[in-house]
Structure 1
Amino acid sequence: MTFDRTRGSLYTILVVIFLSNSCLAEYVRYDRAKTYSFDCPEEFRKIIENHPKFRATRNKVTLELWSYQRGTSDNAIAFVTPEAEAQFLSLLQHYQLKYRVLNQNVQKAYDKEKRRMKKRKFRLSSDAKGILSMDEYHTYEEIEQYFKDIDEVYSEKCKLFNISATYENRTVYGIKVSQNLTQDTVKPSVVVVSGLHAREWLGHATALYILNELVHNRQNKTIHWMLQHFDCYIIPVGNPDGYVHTINKNRLWRKTRSINLGGVGVDMNRNFGYHWGEEPESNLPYDEVYAGPEPFSEVETKGIVNFINNTIKNHAIYLDIHAFMQAFLMPWGYTKSKPEEYRYLKEVCANIVKRIKMSNGNTYSCGTPPDLLYITAGTSMDYYYSQGVPISMSVEVRPFSAEANMTESVFKASMAWPPDQIVPTGKEVLVSLHEMAKYYINHEEELGRNK
């Protein structure tokens, strides 16, 4: 009994220390950190991802692959800090791999981004309620106000949900957009989630673009058709604490902000309870893909799952938005094996890629995580497919563009995507949702997994 009390007291002390360090931490800077483009065979990827020198510390990333696709060009983009650069270059030279520097100092891009956000004083006037500019990134507080205004101004077609409180006592919000909320009908539901990874700002902004189009652009044929056949649920900021942290403290923060005995935060997209914890790296608390101490350990993950499972009937489509790799990912992530209904997913994915290519010339890849990347266990995509959602996918939005100079500039920006990429990216993902929705309507009988 005494031992249990002592262990409990020790845990409390450690948590207080972590909390104190977290609150007092200064803004994390990445001065002289670079981005490299380099040849990256599969064997080399495994070497750098498992190298102890390149592991993340409690507060800071040292080296990460930001873009890599197996079986394509064997080229990768890596973020490299000064602490890891010498070892990284030594390995490249040892294996005689070609490389070049894309950005000599990524912090300049983050400083520019921070100045732009600080300079802009966003205020919603009485005649601008429910309107959010789509040509810049917004703070959590601005997004929160936008949600509340939509709920007030467009109450006949939008409903705001307080999904859950976060670890730091913010709120995860969801919005239902319907053709008419007063009608008591059960349509198939589309669910779009973004922001599980805090630093992927283009994902948050893309979900906000989709929400904005559903609310304000109903005269558009695609939007009108979507709302005629589906109810849409949008959760643009799934990880509010992490998102605020990327603005105020550490631009490259990925995880939640919960405190654990080994570090801070959990990767929400490894925290879902389907084949949870089956990646070796996901058991390491400092790792960027730490899956947490147990499935659904995070209040944010648990809140989103409870909301979707308890609120949404006839869940037809689930899309999780991430950045950046320019690919549509399909189940399964946890194994190289394919689900029985894989051919349907493959067909809809091929339709999406073709439609985007026709619309703007951009090329997206299509496949499972093991086919294009590596094993990913405990993801939201796998979880909802396992729950019977017929079309459950994840999209990694653009860095690439049909314009080569734009691709170069986005990579030089080093995770700080130019705001002028928001609308083009939003259009691509809206096109993809339309293709998923059409496929579901045309194959509803074959796809009725959750009925």
Structure 2
Amino acid sequence: MARSLVAVLLLVALAHARHEKYEGHQLYSIWGPSQEIADLDAKLDILSAKAASASGQLEALLRLAPEEKEAWLQYFDTKNIGYKLMAENLADIFREEDVKIQKSKANAKRNGRSISWDTYYNAEEINEHLDELGRKYPDLVTVINPALSYEGRQIKYVRISTSRFEDLRKRVIIIDAAVHAREWVTTPVALYIIDQLVANIADNRLTEQLDWVIIPMANPDGYEYTINEDRLWRKTRSKAHEGAEECPGVDGNRNFDHHWGTRPESADPCSLIYEGPSAFSEPEIRVIRDVVNQHLDRAALYISLHSYGNMLLYAWGNNGTLPSNGLSLHLAGVQMATAIDKLKLDKAEHYIVGNAASVLYYSTGTSRDWTRAVGIPLTYTMELPGYEYLFVVPPEYIKQIVTESWAGIAEGARYVLSIYN
């Protein structure tokens, strides 16, 4: 008992120290003309954005440090940007999150589970789980170790196939998660998809007639950094660009070669949306690129999991126009959203389906646009729910989110079958 108490006290002390940098930082909801809100993306830590109720308006959640709050609130007043305080002290939110995670992990271990859907795991635990699935289901699951991250961590992914990817008639679905390090809830969704396809398949067509590639932890360096150092870290941890000592890391979802280098705000290494010194400069993003190129002749659906906002967004994000198959993109998105909404919590918003630039704001170098440009017909950014907890989703909501998200993705897979089979 004494040892357990000491361990708990040590964890509390470490959590307190780790989050001190966010002591007194506040969260604000702001709203106003879409372009004005979008222009703040390179200047402030905007944690999420969504379409506001008024036409042409955008609502965003941002963090303000104590020393910058007064100046920015005055700026919002002069620009007629509305704002509302959402959280008084971000450090307290993170400490509470830590306590919940430790409790839920302890419960999972007591129940003899290597992984559960009510807590978060680190990169090593996730990789061990993938290896375990590969050993347990060798005829269905192949674990691939394609490359190391900038800091030398494995970037594992799984291929799920009843025919070992040798049946060239089968279409391929590709899913990645945790490109943005702080968006923790995306990885459990990816792991749950694997679980449903491998251990709990209810619709055999999804594996008999389709092949899957799932990358649950696309940015392990950034993810581990959020666990151990900075909960709000978004980018990779690379230092291969000019200015990296002061501002390390690249926004992985601005590093794809689609209109890369065309937005000045993304050229600043200290910006949260820094696109990197070149397209595909990040080894983590090259893994996604190589997976797509390897299966491009058969790939039919690509989804990049992000958090949060209850949205399914499609191309083109750089100019607001639609791809030639815009109608199919919208129809498939609506079918996925409808399946999710059938299972959503009453307090959750309905999923929005639409063009990324029209629903949110212009963006360049995204995986969603690059995958559509190189030839995958159906490509989406899927923004998962956050409820009133915004981007810090408590462990007790993971089960709900993974369940409803799988329902939507399964529906997307069935749409692929309806088109190509």
Q: TM-score range by the shorter chain?
A: 0.7 to 0.9
The aligned counterpart of 1:365 is 352
Q: How far did residue 92 of structure 1 move?
A: 3.3
Corresponding residue pairs, total:
395
State how far apart, in whole Å, the 2-side matches of 1:312 and 1:159 are. Answer: 19
| Residue 184 to residue 226, structure 1, CA distance change in 2 (3 Å) | closer
| SS of match in other structure, 2:190 | helix
Partners of 2:31 and 2:37 within 8 A in 1: no
Partners of 1:65 and 1:79 within 8 A in 2: yes
| Residue 26 to residue 132, structure 1, CA distance change in 2 (3 Å) | closer
State how far apart, in whole Å, the 1-side matches of 2:168 and 2:242 are. Answer: 48
Any runs of at least 4 consecutive aligned residues in structure 1 with deviations exceeding 6 A, and if so which?
Answer: 25-28, 122-125
Q: How far did residue 132 of structure 1 move?
A: 1.7
- TM-score, normalised with respect to structure 1: 0.81
Moved more, 355-364 or 198-207: 355-364
State how far apart, in whole Å, the 2-side matches of 1:294 and 1:183 are. Answer: 34
Partners of 1:318 and 1:389 within 8 A in 2: yes
The aligned counterpart of 1:69 is 51
Of 288, 297, 312, which aligns to 1:328? 312
State how far apart, in whole Å, the 2-side matches of 1:124 and 1:257 are. Answer: 31
Q: How far did residue 145 of structure 1 move?
A: 0.7
| Residue 132 to residue 47, structure 1, CA distance change in 2 (3 Å) | closer
The aligned counterpart of 2:12 is none
| Residue 73 to residue 352, structure 1, CA distance change in 2 (3 Å) | farther
Partners of 1:211 and 1:234 within 8 A in 2: yes
| SS of match in other structure, 1:165 | coil
Partners of 2:153 and 2:220 within 8 A in 1: yes
| SS of match in other structure, 1:303 | helix
1:128-170 per-residue CA deviation (whole Å, 9 max, x = no partner) reads 5xx5211101111110110111111111111100021111000
Partners of 2:296 and 2:376 within 8 A in 1: no
The aligned counterpart of 1:237 is 217
The reply on whether 1:193 has 2:193 as its aligned counterpart is: no
The aligned counterpart of 1:32 is 24
State how far apart, in whole Å, the 1-side matches of 2:146 and 2:393 are. Answer: 28
- TM-score, normalised with respect to structure 2: 0.86
Residues 98-247 of structure 1 mapped to structure 2, 5 A cutoff:
98-117=82-101, 120=105, 131-179=114-162, 181=164, 186-218=169-201, 220-221=202-203, 224-247=204-227
Uncovered stretches (5+) of structure 1, i.e. residues with no partner = 1-24, 56-61, 400-406, 446-451
| SS of match in other structure, 1:172 | coil
Q: How far did residue 211 of structure 1 move?
A: 1.4
Of 280, 286, 299, which aligns to 1:315? 299
State how far apart, in whole Å, the 1-side matches of 2:217 and 2:412 are. Answer: 22
- Give, as a single letter, the amino acid of the residue that structure 2 aligns with 1:321: L
The aligned counterpart of 1:374 is 361
Partners of 2:170 and 2:209 within 8 A in 1: yes
The reply on whether 1:420 has 2:404 as its aligned counterpart is: no
Partners of 2:168 and 2:298 within 8 A in 1: no
Partners of 1:167 and 1:241 within 8 A in 2: yes
Partners of 1:163 and 1:304 within 8 A in 2: no
Partners of 1:322 and 1:395 within 8 A in 2: yes
Partners of 2:304 and 2:380 within 8 A in 1: yes
| SS of match in other structure, 1:264 | coil
The aligned counterpart of 1:16 is none
State how far apart, in whole Å, the 2-side matches of 1:193 and 1:352 are. Answer: 17
State how far apart, in whole Å, the 2-side matches of 1:196 and 1:163 are. Answer: 16
1:175-201 per-residue CA deviation (whole Å, 9 max, x = no partner) reads 012235497564111111011110000
Residues 275-294 of structure 1 mapped to structure 2, 5 A cutoff:
275-294=259-278
| Residue 310 to residue 356, structure 1, CA distance change in 2 (3 Å) | closer
State how far apart, in whole Å, the 2-side matches of 1:48 and 1:295 are. Answer: 23
| SS of match in other structure, 1:305 | helix
Q: How far did residue 431 of structure 1 move?
A: 2.2
| SS of match in other structure, 1:145 | helix
Uncovered stretches (5+) of structure 2, i.e. residues with no partner = 1-16
Partners of 2:34 and 2:361 within 8 A in 1: no
The aligned counterpart of 1:248 is 228
Partners of 1:28 and 1:250 within 8 A in 2: no
Q: How far did residue 352 of structure 1 move?
A: 2.2
The reply on whether 1:430 has 2:406 as its aligned counterpart is: yes
| SS of match in other structure, 2:253 | helix
State how far apart, in whole Å, the 2-side matches of 1:74 and 1:333 are. Answer: 15
Partners of 1:63 and 1:84 within 8 A in 2: no
| Residue 93 to residue 386, structure 1, CA distance change in 2 (3 Å) | closer
Partners of 1:162 and 1:173 within 8 A in 2: yes
Q: How far did residue 329 of structure 1 move?
A: 0.6
Partners of 1:353 and 1:364 within 8 A in 2: yes
State how far apart, in whole Å, the 1-side matches of 2:193 and 2:237 are. Answer: 27
Q: CA RMSD, aligned part only? A: 2.7
